[in-house]
Structure 1
């Protein structure tokens, strides 16, 4: 079983942590979960009936509601049960809050 001890999660940052503050995961990627909820391109769908099978964004043409988009992954503000990419919520596309953001990616070249 997995336990959660709040004192083991102290990172000495009051809010978000700077990029690259922690060790990379097993694939060499940094900052893949936590810090802020991640906006993704998917339109909101109530369930996972007939999602794209190729990993592409799930858009309005597929029955989604694109006035609301998906956020995933939890933030520094949430408990451990929320810090997983499978956790998702929806927000209006013009909604702003200090625990929402997006991730940038770059090749290592």
Structure 2
């Protein structure tokens, strides 16, 4: 294999607000496929013990193994919890209103969104948020990056 190519493009983690916009994909429901947990095996790699279907993956699944949302994005809910750029705050009181990352609060903990391959359906919702300390790594965590356009 050859060496990976480098680009001068700038990439970054999504803000929590950007992540939720992507996860909702224009919907007003708990999940971009609707309110029901029954679509989980079509749209998300979540904990099989919690739903009446098997998604065929015990742990992480290859990207694109499930149907995309209406924006054409894959694996927004499930597979791995996605880090965001935001510092943890227990509520949205005082949060930026322009979609930018909240860089104040407990910055030793960062916001995670989306749930993972081991999550119950209650965590595989567009509005569910969690946190973890930034020094920890495990098979439940990953990230989605955005390219900054100038």
Q: What root-mean-square deviation, in Å, do the aligned CA atoms of Structure 1 and Structure 2 show?
A: 1.9
Unaligned runs of 5+ in 2: 1-34, 39-49
Which position in structure 1 is the counterpart of 2:90? 46
Which position in structure 2 is the counterpart of 1:20? 64
Change (3 A) 1:47 1:2: same
Count of matched residue pairs: 102
| In 2, Cα distance between equivalents of 1:43 and 1:83 | 21
Segments of 4+ in structure 1 off by > 6 A?
none
Unaligned runs of 5+ in 1: none
Q: Is the 8 A contact 2:58 2:117 kept in 1?
A: no
Q: Secondary structure at the match of 1:96?
A: coil
1:36 deviation in Å?
Answer: 0.7
TM-score, normalised to structure 1's length?
0.82
Matched, 1:74 2:119: no
Q: Identify the structure with bigger relative contact order (alpha carbons < 8 Å, sequence gap 6+).
A: 2
